[in-house]
Amino acid sequence: MAEDTTRGTPVGLPHTTAPERDGVGASAPRPDGVLKVRGDFAFSSDLWHEDMLWGTTLRSPHPRARILAVDITEAVALPGVHAVLTHEDIPGEKFYGLEIADQPVLAIDQVRYHGEPIAIVAADHPETARRAAARIAVTYDVLPPITSPEEAADTASHGHVHAPAEYKARADGNVVHRQRIVSGAGVTDEVRAAADVVVRGDYEVGMQDQAFLGPESGLAVPAEDGGVDLYIATQWMHADQRQMCPVLGLPPDKVRLTLAGVGGAFGGREDISMQVHACLLALHTGRPVKIVYSREESFFGHVHRHPAWLTYEHGATRDGKLVYVEARMSLDGGAYASTSAAVVGNAASLAIGPYAVPNVAVDAAAYYTNNPPCGAMRGFGAVQACFAYESQMDRLAEELAMDPVELRCRNAVEEGSAMPTGQTVDAPAPVAELLRRVRDMPLPPTGTDSPDLRELPGGVSNTTHGEGVVRGIGYAVGIKNAGFSEGFDDYSTARVRLEVIAGEPVAVVHTAAAEVGQGGVTVQGQIARTELGVGRVTVQPADTRVGSAGSTSASRQTYVTGGAVKTACEAVRAAVFEIGMRRYGWSGEMVAGLALAAGKVVAPDGAVVADLAELLGGEAVEETRVYRHRPTQAFDKVTGQGFGHVQYTFCAHRAVVDVDTELGLVKVVELAAAQDVGLMVNPAAVLGQVHGGSAQGLGLAVMEEIVVADAKVRNPSFTDYLIPTILDTPPMRVDVLEHPDPHAPYGLRGAGEASALSSTPAVVSAIRAATGLPLNRVPVRPEHLTGT
């Protein structure tokens, strides 16, 4: 265990929580909460080792270029430098990738995006490392970059991001992945003729950053056995390990990962960033190596949300029933594949939203370009689709002169409905109820009811006294899958131990689930308290000494790792009862009705049968279990049919905005939400997820975008990349529904992403209502509202 000598909090400190009443359904306090509020929590950037070196990375200033020469002579000669490595120094495989191994560990003969790593340096001081990197001389043959899916599709004019020989059988030209969905009769002339009203629209979603506050960082420590121990902020340690082992030329038992403090993720830590670089430097120098990205480097060091261009056509009857939806979706995947294939699968299969539509035709594709690589971000393909289909529903409601909520309710899916993939919605789907709940919430007072000018758009800067300010109200609802899809073997492993310490029964839980700020550690403790009836639970530091827990993404950890902890606890409980059968002669019939509660073995009527500590004595019970949700299947490549998703989640929003139509300023006055979560394992954490997702969607609606011009990032800082602050984030009324999913542990639904979908189109819908402008692109900027 590494220790932070500057802040005094050990990294990987076990989390012990109590009392028993903080079980499933309670707002159990987070064991890391007080430390974080006080500033005492050790994040990965706080890691320290007395003998460590500092690592840094030389990155390409060009988005597309051939590398003609790399001269490290001056860098190596700088005093204090211990290593300068290029691709020639890699002991194993030179490529890695989360789904497709198409990304060089260090650039070989060309660079494909602005900021691609070319060389890494280890020195005794971070400034020395940076100065050494600046001394590396790279000779480039600069090439014109491919900057859009449109250019990428025209290989005859613009060529390939990767040489055609590198594609093998996995891609078609510059297409990373394509998914079509066809249901009903598709969209034919005959189908179109059945629609009384048709609306068409072109939409665009900009590149959003995860904007986590903790930069990429970690500490690699070489071990005596020739291996390496990596302390790292990540979302999926076993995926990191799987990609790093071939590069390092080491087996998994010699590449050991321990989770360090993670300062947010939102998908941006699913791919490898500095992990393998730190390990290469540590193994080469024989010294611990720490790497911490600056904020600017962080923008180049992780993937972002895919920019998207979407063309939709909706046809409906005069009474508002949808007849067909046709959609074409182009996503910019950037230079490397990352998770683009899965993002396309999500975007295509969820392209029409939570609506029952008899005829559907969708064509979705992600393209290689020389823009920054894009991959996982909260909402994972469903965000882009939601902005487009909800904008279309508003346009259709306007064309039909129908209430926008009523139009949505009239077409909403429900349990038993068929998705366009042919999958039946086999759990509650309260889409109409969610919409009506947000519609029926009380509206906030108008700005004229309050003399406080700070509540108006730009009011903090005294830009208006109310003149030119118009209010608008907008609605939206979204659908998101939970868990990994399309036939992926989605599982998690949990090890649970029950023993007596100081006369008290204590449960010890060990998983590899990454705690990235979502509260997974808290939930694991709650489940153990509920299932084992103990007051004390210790959740061990997450590492690769236990089997994989999968990624902390896709709203899956409470479902899958929670399921693993629950299953392991059930096995421990059964073993405890076996002790009672062996020691006290309990019958199988008797054991079938027993439970563990408050440190006791209790009968169905609540009578105490035995004291748990006395029953265990000096004996400890430990069980390891793997939990898998029910299997899914890949979508058919031609029709998109298949049972692709294990679970659907739903959230609806109502946004209230004030718009200064003269200055183009927007104030989101309120963002009300209603979401179904099946069961609130931790109500306070659920509210936090809804609030956080809503705020992230608000950011995409009105301010957040990585500006890329000629394939170069122009705003890699939190000065120029804007995220909502406390002044931008409005009051949020939240109504949480609990319609249990019969297929999930405790009936729960993944709660982390659905609110990030519908908040964006709800805010834009409200701005449209206030201004009458079409607003087909996000984020909406002042010039879009003023025309200047």
pTM above the 0.75 mark? yes
pLDDT number for residue 11 = 35
pLDDT number for residue 378 = 98
User: What distance in Å separates the CA atoms of residue 167 and residue 460, rounded to the nearest whole number?
Assistant: 54
Mean pLDDT of 433-437: 98
Strand 117-123 with 53-59, pairing: antiparallel
Q: Where are the alpha helices (DSSP H) in 742-787?
A: 755-771, 782-786
Q: Quick one: CA dihedral 24, 25, 26, 31, positive or negative?
A: positive
At residue 21, does pLDDT exceed 60? yes
User: What distance in Å separates the CA atoms of residue 88 and residue 150, rounded to the nearest whole number?
Assistant: 35
Q: Where are the alpha helices (DSSP H) in 23-143?
A: 33-38, 73-77, 126-135
Contacts of 708 by beta carbon, 8 Å cutoff, 6+ apart: 147, 207, 371, 372, 714
Which tokens in the block code for residue 601? Answer: 């073995």
Residues 115 and 104 sit within 8 Å (Cβ to Cβ): no
List C-alpha distances in Å: 729 to 167, 627, 726. Answer: 45, 38, 5
Mean pLDDT of 398-423: 98
Mean predicted lDDT score pLDDT of the chain: 95
Closest CA to 99 of 459, 654, 486, 361: 486
Torsion of CA 364, 366, 371, 376, to 10 degrees: 100
Terminal CA-CA length for the chain:
57
How many Cβ atoms from other residues are within 10 Å of residue 286's Cβ?
A: 11
pLDDT number for residue 288 = 98
pLDDT number for residue 19 = 41
Instruction: Give the relative orientation of helices 275-285 and 237-248 as an angle to the nearest 10 degrees.
Output: 40
8-state DSSP, 223: -
At residue 169, does pLDDT exceed 90? no
**286-296 residue pLDDT tens:** 999 999 999 99
pLDDT number for residue 20 = 53
**271-280 residue pLDDT tens:** 999 999 999 9
pLDDT number for residue 449 = 61
Beta strands in 383-484 (DSSP E): 469-482
**Residue at token pair 């990304």:** 103
List C-alpha distances in Å: 333 to 212, 289, 309, 343, 376. Answer: 21, 32, 12, 10, 11
- Helix-strand-coil percent breakdown of the chain, rounded to 5? 30, 25, 45
**Residue at token pair 């975007």:** 347
Closest CA to 688 of 492, 473, 523: 523
User: Ranked by mean pLDDT, which of 6-15, 367-376, 457-466 comes out on top?
Assistant: 367-376
**724-765 residue pLDDT tens:** 999 999 999 999 999 999 999 999 999 999 999 999 999 999
At residue 13, does pLDDT exceed 60? no
pLDDT number for residue 450 = 61
Q: Where are the alpha helices (DSSP H) in 212-325?
A: 237-248, 275-285, 295-301
8-state DSSP, 463: -
**732-743 residue pLDDT tens:** 999 999 999 999
Q: Indicate the pLDDT class of residue 431, thresholds 50, 70 and 90.
A: very high
**594-630 residue pLDDT tens:** 999 999 999 999 999 999 999 999 999 999 999 999 9
At residue 113, does pLDDT exceed 60? yes
**59-92 residue pLDDT tens:** 999 999 999 999 999 999 999 999 999 999 999 9
Which tokens in the block code for residue 507? Answer: 């449960």
Please report which helix (H) or strand (E) contains residue 709, including its range. Answer: strand 708-709
